[in-house]
Amino acid sequence: MAIPRLRALRFFLPIAMLVASVVLPSHAFAATTYYVRTDGGTDEQCNGRADAPYPGSGNGVDCAWSHPNYALPTNDRPRIDGGDTLIIGPGDYMIGWESPGLSTKSLRCDRSSPYDCYPAAPPSGTPQQRTRILGAGFDAGCKAPPRLWGTNRVDLVFNLQDADNVEVGCLEITDKSDCVEFHANDEVRCERDAPPFGQWASIGIGAKRSRNVWLHDLNIHGLSGRGVMAGGLRDWTIERVRIHANGWAGWDGDVGEGESSNDGDIVFRNVEIAWNGCAEHWQTGEPFACWAQEEGGYGDGLGTGKTDGHWLVEDSRIHHNTSDGLDLLYTDESKTATVVVRRVYAAANAGNQVKTAGNALIENSVIVGQCAYFHKKYEMSDGDMCRAYGNALSIGVGPKQTATVRHNTITGEGDCLILTAGGNQTSRVDIYNNALIGQKDVTASDGDMRSCAHYADDSTAVVNFDGNAFWNVKDDMCPPGNVCGREPKIASLDIANFDPAPLAGSPLIDHATQNTSVTSDFLRQSRPMGAAADIGAIEYQGGQASAPASPPPEGSKAAPAKVEGNASNDTSGASAPRQGSALIIGTLAAASLLTAGVAAAMRKGRGRKS
């Protein structure tokens, strides 16, 4: 579903301000802090400039507004300026038709179009001074974020279309309905055709054509469609954000042909993307009625349209989504797109766990391809399990491109642990120091019933294996220069309780033979700790390390370490995707797209057929 466009409206500024803006740069103006709280007043009663309740009488009083609509009205003429801060107090704020503060002069929101009754986008700030929309307590741990909840089939709860230089933090974004839009089950499907529609919203955050945005400390869950639908972005950073149990997808970057490609640095740090493709019982948070493409749904945790940009996904957990977990297959190989996946826990997604294309680096990650997790659970169709044959890691490369897979622990019950596709003899895939652990292949019908370690699908790319450990894989694959046929001795081989921490005496310990710049592990522990680095994602520290279960509990040692702000990365000398690509992947070269045949073959639904 395309995100509706906002009409281009501008402020009617006083002449004095217009004159001043010619003389002074925009960031020279003093910013104002405005407040919203549930006991505030209307825009006539309060000016929004004090964190105080409406006293009960008077107009233009120094007190807070009672609803975000007064700051960002649906007539798309905000009452705050670029660079200002809006602080929203604790409590619930209904977004949509019949919510307080709807503009009577809106050109898009009225009784006949309740889906368009979402707030205006914040006015753009400057690179030096972002416009900030923050929940109270954003600077003290965000312990009680205000809840913005959508109703009456509103398209968006939070609007970032055409918004540049904006910070959004410390908010819960959801609705108060169990329904999913267009769901195959009549009892779960949302009412769209006639009122009363119910208390549901389609998208949590919607964005197009937006630059330099920082999202942090957000809980986006239970929407009938997508948690986030955002494309045409440049330089976005997403930190400490949870995207959970949204009925169609978690983060959908396909906002329309020709409008979806991103650019600059797109950073996901310390995010959790889970259970998307499932409905959510809004009162308990429990997922149910999970579905995906065979039933007419979608189900990716994170997916994009064709995109450029330098993508960094690190210290994150992506699990139990009903299709692919992290799908960055559609990065544009004809441009300078790069992908870095670092210290990511990807598990129990019903399709592929991680997909990349073009110049890519996957390191220090735990990838558990339990693609049949949903079998006989949550009403999921068996036809949607192990989509694209459930390969745990799927890598596409084009001519003159390099993908590096190093220091990961990868297991899976799909066809193969690693699938490579595309490219030619100028393309490279370097697979170094990984623990590759097979399981029973649930997609197999005869022959060797174990998952294969690697399969090159319609690809002549050069694939190099060195310093890896192979165990329990189809046909006992194990090229020279790798540890072959030795039980890895990790805390748990069982895919349902997989724990990759090496135990004392494990052949993974000190047996990585490829020198790399990786100086820490999945848990940010020092690497190496002995004569050489260990094979796999976790470096043995002399005792049993705490490693991920399914998934690692929030706040546990196994959960990715929290990285505040834009702290530098200490793993391989890279702190941003562009720098990481330059230092790790190598000098980028102009390269052509995969051929049309290979590109078509790599679309969802295709996979190895033999």
Cis ω for the linkage preceding 528 (within 30 of 0): yes
Average pLDDT over residues 134-141: 97
- The set of residues, in sequence order, having a beta carbon less than 8 Å from that of 116 and lying 6+ positions away, is 4, 74, 108, 109, 154, 155
Alpha-carbon span 500 to 435, nearest angstrom:
9
Alpha-carbon span 85 to 1, nearest angstrom:
31
| Listed range (188-202, 206-220, 225-239, 536-550) with the worst mean pLDDT | 536-550
The number of beta carbons lying within 10 Å of the beta carbon of residue 513 is: 15
Average pLDDT over residues 142-153: 98
Per DSSP, the three-state class of 513 is coil
Asked whether residue 96 carries a pLDDT value surpassing 60, the answer given is: yes
Q: Residue 276 — very low, low, confident or very high, per pLDDT cuts 50/70/90?
A: very high
Asked whether residue 283 carries a pLDDT value surpassing 60, the answer given is: yes
| Average pLDDT value for the chain | 87
Asked whether residue 60 carries a pLDDT value surpassing 50, the answer given is: yes
Alpha-carbon span 494 to 488, nearest angstrom:
13
Average pLDDT over residues 137-145: 97
Residue 542 is predicted with a pLDDT of: 86
**Closest-CA residue to 415 (of 329, 328, 352):** 352
Q: Write out pLDDT tens, residues 447-465.
A: 999 999 999 999 999 999 9
Determine contact, residues 247/225, Cβ cutoff 8 Å.
yes
Alpha-carbon span 506 to 489, nearest angstrom:
5
Query: At residue 535, what is the residue type?
Result: I
Q: Write out pLDDT tens, residues 8-54.
A: 322 223 333 333 334 444 445 689 999 999 999 999 999 999 999 99
| Listed range (262-271, 275-284, 573-582) with the worst mean pLDDT | 573-582
Average pLDDT over residues 313-335: 94
- The set of residues, in sequence order, having a beta carbon less than 8 Å from that of 197 and lying 6+ positions away, is 114, 151, 152, 153, 190, 191
Residue 543 is predicted with a pLDDT of: 65
The number of beta carbons lying within 10 Å of the beta carbon of residue 507 is: 19
- Neighbouring-strand partners of residue 502: 490
Q: Write out pLDDT tens, residues 194-206.
A: 999 999 999 999 9
Average pLDDT over residues 85-99: 98
User: DSSP readout, 453-510?
Assistant: EEEEES---EEEEES-EEES-GGG---TTSEES----EEE--GGG-EEEEPTT-TTTT
Residue 335 is predicted with a pLDDT of: 80
Q: Write out pLDDT tens, residues 482-525.
A: 999 999 999 999 999 999 999 999 999 999 999 889 999 999 99
Alpha-carbon span 281 to 427, nearest angstrom:
47
Average pLDDT over residues 401-418: 98
Q: What percent of the chain has pLDDT over 90?
A: 82
Average pLDDT over residues 149-158: 98
Query: At residue 255, what is the residue type?
Result: V
Q: Write out pLDDT tens, residues 520-560.
A: 999 999 999 999 999 999 999 986 555 565 454 343 333 33
Determine contact, residues 230/268, Cβ cutoff 8 Å.
no
The number of beta carbons lying within 10 Å of the beta carbon of residue 323 is: 25
Average pLDDT over residues 362-390: 96
CA atoms within 13 A on the CB side of 389: 23
Query: At residue 28, what is the residue type?
Result: A
The number of beta carbons lying within 10 Å of the beta carbon of residue 97 is: 23
Asked whether residue 592 carries a pLDDT value surpassing 60, the answer given is: no
Determine contact, residues 248/298, Cβ cutoff 8 Å.
yes
Asked whether residue 302 carries a pLDDT value surpassing 50, the answer given is: yes
Alpha-carbon span 507 to 460, nearest angstrom:
32
